[in-house]
Structure 1
Amino acid sequence: MDEENMMQVIEVTEAAQLVFAGSGGAVINAVDSDGSNRIDAGSGNDTVLTGAGDRIFGGTGDDRFFIQTGGNNRITGGAGADQFWIANNGTVPITPNRVTDFTPGEDVLGLEGFGTDFSAVAIAQQGADTAVSVDGQALAILEGVEASDLSEANFALVDEGANGEPDLAALPAATPAPAFDTLTGIPFEVTGEGQQFAFGSADDLIDASGDTGANLLRGRFGNDTFILGRRDRIVGGGGDDRFFASVGGNNRIAGNAGADQFWIAVSDTPNRRNIIRDFTDGQDVIGIAGLGITFGDLAIQQLSGNRTRIGLNGGVLAILQNTEASSLTAADFAIV
């Protein structure tokens, strides 16, 4: 059996959802999505068939992104040698897609069905970015890339049917991945380190999964959604907030007022445990999604200093400060 037929197959068909694929590699079919989704492919060598108007993260691994006709996606490949097939089947997307982290010499831009003559490809500087087009039709914007750094060596031009795009009809049936709705507000992406951000009264979507740590994020008011990165301090503020741990970990989280959800593992376990400073028994919820476990699989242990450790398979998912282990029951957890 070939590798793709052994992968998890995930279909994204709704709108404004937060989808986590997890580790191990997956085929993610977002062709029929209704847009405004945030799709996290997780670690592994993933294959993503894009829809329209989504935010897509490849994560760690050598990922492949196959652009369909919709366009207007924003794609981050993440670590690894990624392939961005920015036009396929001889058809250009309705709206150009944006690639945030194309790395010349490591990643590849692919065109399928437009012939193999590179002279049809145009590369033009647009401010700090580079625009790529074929036969005068815009295909993609490469953010932060100098046009002078690109040449034919950065491209793969192949005949129709030769790009390795998976045949969806031949793949196993799709399986559900953890998906959370509804995403509201204008997404704000945190990059870099050592910064401070304070948000207002709206329901904010704050994505720090790509940062490098030591940031302070304050949600203040509203029902905010945080996608966590690594080594940050996060304060939810007022409102019913949601916190989703990514693979980074080592964050310090305070929900503050409201009925908050602390998703300490979603489709994968964090590299380091996160610390929750103010879990409120009977009001807040600890969530675990996509790991195929039950409450009985967790190791809940009292530590000194009125702290509780939540472990799984010998690892540590989270430390709850100011919490007695004896006070935690299955009713405090959402495991899906």
Structure 2
Amino acid sequence: MPEGAPETPCTVCCCTLTNKVLVLLFMVLLILAILLGNAVTLAVILGTKHFRTPHGYLKASLAVADLSVGVFVVPLSVYAETSILVQSEPEWTRSDSRRAPLHPCAFAGPVFAACTLVSISTIFLLSIERSIAVLRPLHKGAVLTRKRTSILIVASWLGSLVLAVSPMLHSDGVALEYNACSRMCNYARRASPGASWNILLLFPAFDFALLGGTVAVNALSLSSIRQHSKRRQRLAEADAARRVAGPAFSDVKAAKTIGALTLAFAASFSPIAVFVVGNVLGNEWCNFSFFAFWTLTTNSCCNALVYSIRDQKFRQRAQQLLAPLRARSVSKT
């Protein structure tokens, strides 16, 4: 450890060389999973006319946010941990370098926060879009247009970016540094943070507000789907020839997929929200910080997995895109 640097508490993930290597391997595999899954998602959505819809645009926005984490955030942690492993710790990873010019964390930290905010806001917009398709299927085309969806996507990105940098712009008690516990660029308290440190509570407050709205919208959509299914079953028993106008099967399936995404994000975000609140109250929680931040980061490769499992057309198109690569690898072998 460099002279003059504060001692870092020994964590489960950093005490031995074996654990350090395993953590580094986990990061590398996570990068590959994020890049592959979201690159295929974008290729399927943007390269297939069937998926170029308002719903597809929202899924593409979610994939871009996840892809940004794999391109700008996780590789920085890999570089830092690799350098530390070979005994050449970069200057910017030390806690006393937070004011250094062109600090990498000044970019990676807000990007990670913004992508997290974009993810939850996009999931919320997906829930709204699916609820309209389920509750008002005849008006779906008139209400859900590509132009309106594009405006909402741009607004969610701009709002998330502004909120991500707001702690740095409106608080003198907050800085960005590479945290030895979480293995990631985090917001950190300065020597005398005062009450301004509480501005970080904006992140869990915003995410939980949208998450609560998403759960409510999904509950309304699923309730409508259940009522429609019962009504259709009763009429089918009375008269097999009669049909009830209702949501398409694809809309119903997509609504259930959004519900699965909401549960996945809630499970991955809850630990980081608990950590932020505890950190504001003065708790360090070194081991827990690693678990919280990397659980949230792992969610960046889960969205593509959820879609591939739930959407058969998506799986078929992805297999078609990957078929030439498989054929090339087989021919080389």
What TM-score results when the alignment is normalised by the length of structure 1?
0.22
What TM-score results when the alignment is normalised by the length of structure 2?
0.22
More strand by share: 1
Which structure has more relative contact order (CA 8 Å, sep 6+)? It is 2
More helix by share: 2
